[in-house]
Structure 1
Amino acid sequence: MTRLGADGVGCWVVKTARPPDAVVPGWRPGQTHEVTRCLRPSYRLGLMRPGQPVLLWLSGRDRPGVHATGVLAAEPAAGDGGPVAVVRLTLLPDPLPRADLLADPAARDAEVLRMPAGSNPSYLTPAQYAAVLAHLPRCH
């Protein structure tokens, strides 16, 4: 397997098993919040830069898919339990379902779809990220 390089990252994907309103109580569509997500120590952390696009992915059986879009607010930092990233995310009016991405030829081989139990951060290639953006409302 080829090691990921900066040019292979269209966006970062941070995952949660908790619905967005449990991540940020009272989070409403269109609202932006800074959220801290735990990361797995790996070489990928060295590729993460403030301002890079980020997606919030809800894992599990209840509405899996992209629930928020945003940017990396700061470089990964040390946290109490390991590395963390602060991301600035805007909750989507409606999530982009996992099934929609599986049906899209440009997105269906994304790491987050092939390895849903993988650790944070995951990523999308530039072409996969473009496919996600094409599914989102025009305001994104």
Structure 2
Amino acid sequence: MATTIDEGNLGAWLLKCNPAVYDLRAAVDAGVDYVDSWSVRPGYRAEMMAPGQKAVLWVSGDGTRMARGIWGVGWVRGRVRPADAEGAGFWTDQGARRSVRMAIALWIPVLAEPVTVKEIRAAGVTDLEVLRMPQGSNPSWISQAQLAVLEHLLPEWPTEPRGSAK
């Protein structure tokens, strides 16, 4: 049975990046060191996202281009909004790019090294929604209990930058 997400159990939002759709490796190689916006599916989850909530960048796929796992930790910086052409240069699937309707403002610094799926499972976190339903849409989520375990694997959560978000 699925758990209902609410302020009482939300630890962080999880935004998935499939390297077959968006080339995060090329973005990083080009000097992108943080994610400032990401596509989300319209719905109650996207509407729940609010400035100041924790956010995690997850790389999915087969692990050949980038290891599967957590590649960034940071913050939601705005509310869901109509998507624009941000990041268009790194999309590898133009059909997927054109289908994006909504996006969320973020500040998620990209990690130099990921926290891999193997490390996450070894820590005892085997029930992440992204592991149970890898084809689910953005955003996914991490419970407070799961995040409490994961934070021991992650670098210190970055301080949210000041200033207005997009």
- Is the TM value for this pair above 0.5? yes
Question: Percent sequence identity over matched residues?
Answer: 30
Q: Does 1:83 align with 2:84?
A: no
Aligned mate of 1:71, from 70, 75, 85: 75
TM-score (norm 2): 0.73
Q: Which runs of 5+ in 1 are unaligned?
A: none
Give 1 or 2 for the bigger CA radius of gyration.
2
TM-score (norm 1): 0.85
Aligned to 1:128: 146
Q: For the aligned residues, what is the CA RMSD?
A: 2.0
Q: 1:58 to 1:34 in 2, by over 3 A?
A: closer
Please give the alpha-carbon distance, in whole angstroms, between the structure 2 residues aligned to 1:34 and 1:91.
Answer: 7
Summarize deviations over 1:62-118 as a string: whole Å, max 9, x none.
11000011101111112253111121111112100011112222x211101111111
Q: Which runs of 5+ in 2 are unaligned?
A: 85-99, 159-166
Match of 1:49, SS?
coil
- The structure with the largest strand share of the pair is 1
What is the deviation of 1:25? 4.7
Please give the alpha-carbon distance, in whole angstroms, between the structure 2 residues aligned to 1:14 and 1:123.
Answer: 8
Task: Give 2:47's aligned amino acid.
Answer: G
Aligned length: 136
